[in-house]
Structure 1
Amino acid sequence: MGNKQKKIKERRKKELSKSEKIEKALEQEKEFQKQEIKFLLLGTGESGKSTFIKQLELIYKTGFDNEKRELYRRTIQKNLILHTKHLIHGTEILGTKIKNETKKLTKGFLEIDETKPLTLELSERISKIWEDNGIKKVFRSRSTLQIPDSASYYLNDIKRIMKVKYQPTDKDILYCRIPTTGIVKVQFKVNDFVWTIVDVGGQRSERRKWIHQFDDVSVLIYVVALSEYDQKLYEDETINRMHESLETFDNTANNSYFLRTSCILIFNKMDLFEEKIQKVDPRTCFRDYRGGLNAEKAKKFVSEKFKNLGQNKKRKVKMFFTTATITRNMTKIFNRMEQFIIQESSKKL
C-alpha cells in the first residue's frame, strides 16, 4: 500500500513538474511575442531591400562568416563576366565605337560561360576591355541598358578581386546583388526587441508570394530606389520603374490587411539620385514636375507622391532618405526606426 501511494505521489510530482515547464514555456512565448516586431520588407526589384538586410547583419549580428564571404566571392567574380557582357552588348545596341584592339578582346566574349571560375587570363582581358573609352561611354548610358550601377565599383577594382587570397570586404558584399527569390525570414535582437524581417523578392514573378506573409505584421517597410526615375523594368522595358513602384506601393499599402499597419518608406540610392539629377530631369518620369534639376525639390516631389498614397486617418507614414550601402547612415536609420516603432506601439496600448 505504501509503495503504491509513493508511486502515485511521484507520478503527480512529475506531472506537476511537466505542467510547470509547459506554463513557463507559454509565459516565455507570451513575453517573446510582446517584444517581437514583425516587419514585412517590400519593394520592387533592385530597390535595395537585400542591402537593408545585410546592414542589419553587420550592425546587430556578427557580420558575414567565411562561408558567406566565399559565396559572395564567387558571385562577384561571376558578375564581372556578366557586367562585361552587358557592356559589350551595349556597344552593339547604341552603335558605340571602340578601339580595334578592344574589338579583338570582345570577340567570342558573349559566349563565355559565367558559371565557370574566373581565370586570371580572363580577368586581364576584362580589365583591358573596361579601359576603352567607348565601353565607359556605354556604362554612362546604363539606365537604358539594365546594367547595374555597381558594375563600375567591381570593374575598377578587378586586380584586387583577382588576388589569390581575395576575400570580399563588407563594402564588396554590400554592393553585391543576388536577387531575392522566394521568402527570406531573419531575426535580429535590437535592444529590447526582436525584429523579425520577412523579405520577399521584388521582381514581378515574386510578388504573388507577398499575400501569404500578411498575418501578424507589425510594420510595413517599403523601399524605393529614388534614382530609378528614368529607368525601365527588367521584365518589361515599356514600364517606368518609378511608376511601377508607385503602383505597387499603392496596391500594397491600401490592401485591407495593412490599413492600420505602421508604415515606413525608405528612399534609397540618394547618392545616385543626386548624381543623376544634375543631368536628367524628373519630368522624364513625372509630367507634372516643375522643379528642374533641383535635388531637394525632386526628392520632396517624389516622396510626397508615395506619402499621399500611404497615409490615412488611421496611420501616418514615416519617411527616411538614405544610401543603404553606407553603414553609418543605416545605423542612424535603424535607431530612428526603433523610436518610431516604440511611439506607434504606445498609441495602441
Structure 2
Amino acid sequence: MNIIKKLKKSNKVASKNEIDEKLEIDGLEERLNLKILLLGSGESGKSTVLKQLKLINKIELENDELLEYKNGLRRNVLQCMNILTGQLKPHELEYEKPESQDLALLLKKAEEQYLNEDNSYFTSEVASAINFLWTNEPSIKKVWEKRNNFWIMDAAYYYFDNVMRFVDDDFELTEEDYVMSRIMTTGIISTEISIPPLKYTVIDVGGQRNERRKWLHCFDNVSALLFIVNLSGYNSVLFEDNSVNRMKECFDLFKQTANNEIFKNTPIFLLFNKKDLFEEKIRTDSINICEEFADYTGSGDLMDSLSFIEKKFKSAINNGDPDRIQVFHIAARFKRDIKTTWDDVVSKLKDMKKKEIESIIKELKSKNVDTFSSS
C-alpha cells in the first residue's frame, strides 16, 4: 500500500515538472514572436502594405477571400463613378452626351440594389455604362480633374480602366487587382509571418476615426510600429469629414501615437506611402496648400518636398528618442517597395534583439527544442 502511494505521488511530481517545463518553453518561444502594429489614418495604405506582405511571404488566399476581393472591385468601381456623377452639380457641370443622364440613373439604381444586398447589381449594362461615362463623357473627366475638392478613392482610375474585365463572373484576380481592391478594415486583422528564428505577428486595425478606439487593445507588448502616411493626402479630404485635410488628420494622429508614453522606447518605422501619386500632384499643387506645411517655401521638387515633410513629422516627437524613427518613401502598390522595406525592418529588429534572440535559442537548445534555427 505504501509503495502504491509513493508511486502516485512520484507521478504527480513528474507531471507538474513537465507542465512547468512546457510553460517555460512556450514563454521562451513567445519571446521570439515579435508583435508589429500597423497604424495610420483611413486610406493611408495600411491594408495594401499587409496584402503585399502576404504576397511576399507566400501566404495564400482562401477561395472566399478571393471572391470577397473580386466583389470589392465591383463595389469600388460603382461607388467611384457615382461619386463623380454626384459631383457634377456642385461643380456647375452638365452632361454633354445625350445618353449620359440615363446611364447615370442606371448606376444609381445599381447602387440601391447593392445597398439592399441584391448581389445581381453588377451587370454588363452597369459595367458598360461606367466605361462609357469614363471614356466618352467630357464632364466626368472635368470633374475628375477637380477630385481634390471631394473624397474619392485614390485607385478610382484603376477601377475605371478595368471595369469591363470585372463584369465577367470568371475573371481571374491578378496580384494587382488584389492589391488595388479596397475593402474597409473593420476590427483587428492579425497576420503571422514566420522567418526563423523569429515569428512576426502583424496587426492591422481600421484607420477610420470610429475604428481607432479598438487600437488600445493592441498596445501591449509591441515590438515595433509601422506607421503609414498617405503623402498624396496633403491636398485632399477625409472620407468621414470633407472639411478635414487628410494629411492634417494623419499628422495629428502620428503626433498623438508617437508621443504616447507606452511607445516611448518602441522603434517606429515611418512609411511615407503613395509617393507615385504625390510626385504627380506636386507638379501643380505645392505642399504648402496643406495647413501643416504652410511654411514651406521650396519648389515642387520631389526630394525637397519629401525632406520638408519628413522633418515635420520627426519634429513632432517630444517623448523618447527621435532617432528611434526610421523613414521609408514607398508606393505600396509596387511589391518591390514593400519587399525592400520589409527586409530592412526585419533586419533592424533582428539586430536590435540579437543578444536576446541568441540567449533564448541557447536556452531552448538546452531543453532539446529544435523548433527554431538561427538564420
TM-score (norm 2): 0.86
Deviations 1:285-329 (A, max 9, x none): 121001121111101111111122237653521111111111121
Which stretch shifts more, 250-259 or 231-240? 231-240
Aligned-partner Cα distance in 2 for 1:14–1:141:
77
- Structure 2 alignment gaps of length 5 or more: 358-375
**Aligned match for 1:342, one of 337, 345, 350:** 350
**Aligned match for 2:268, one of 263, 271, 274:** 263
Question: Partner letter of residue 323 of structure 1?
Answer: A
**Aligned match for 2:146, one of 141, 144, 162:** 141
- Which residue of structure 2 lines up, in the alignment, with residue 110 of structure 1? 108
* Contact residue 60 and residue 190 of structure 1 kept, 8 A: no
Deviations 1:203-262 (A, max 9, x none): 111112222221111112211001110012222222211111111111111111111111
- Which residue of structure 1 lines up, in the alignment, with residue 372 of structure 2? none
TM-score (norm 1): 0.92
**Aligned-residue identity in percent:** 33
Q: Map 1:171-182 to 2 at 5 A.
A: 171-182=176-187
Aligned-partner Cα distance in 2 for 1:49–1:61:
18
Q: Map 1:22-61 to 2 at 5 A.
A: 22-61=19-58
- Which residue of structure 2 lines up, in the alignment, with residue 127 of structure 1? 131
- Which residue of structure 1 lines up, in the alignment, with residue 373 of structure 2? none
Cα root mean square deviation, aligned: 2.1
- Which residue of structure 1 lines up, in the alignment, with residue 332 of structure 2? 324
Q: Shift of residue 15 of structure 1?
A: 3.1
Aligned-partner Cα distance in 1 for 2:303–2:141:
29
Deviations 1:155-190 (A, max 9, x none): 111222222311311110101111111222222113
Question: Partner letter of residue 88 of structure 1?
Answer: T
Q: Map 1:1-349 to 2 at 5 A.
A: 1=1, 5=3, 8-9=6-7, 11-12=8-9, 14-16=11-13, 18-98=15-95, 99-112=97-110, 113-114=113-114, 115=117, 116-117=119-120, 118-131=122-135, 132-285=137-290, 286-310=293-317, 314=321, 316-346=324-354
- Structure 1 alignment gaps of length 5 or more: none
Measured at CA, do residues 24 and 58 of structure 1 come closer, stay the same or move farther in structure 2, by a change above 3 Å?
Answer: farther
Q: Shift of residue 7 of structure 1?
A: 7.2
Aligned-partner Cα distance in 1 for 2:232–2:174:
25
Q: Shift of residue 8 of structure 1?
A: 4.9
Question: Partner letter of residue 346 of structure 2?
Answer: E
* Contact residue 48 and residue 268 of structure 1 kept, 8 A: yes
Aligned-partner Cα distance in 1 for 2:89–2:13:
77
Q: Secondary structure at the match of 1:149?
A: coil
> How many pairs align?
346
Aligned-partner Cα distance in 1 for 2:19–2:73:
48
Which stretch shifts more, 219-228 or 309-318? 309-318
Deviations 1:93-122 (A, max 9, x none): 212233222123213532432343311222
Q: Shift of residue 63 of structure 1?
A: 2.9
Aligned-partner Cα distance in 2 for 1:13–1:58:
52
Deviations 1:114-160 (A, max 9, x none): 34331122212221122223212222322222111211112111222
Aligned-partner Cα distance in 1 for 2:172–2:129:
22
Q: Secondary structure at the match of 2:87?
A: helix
Aligned-partner Cα distance in 1 for 2:190–2:148:
31
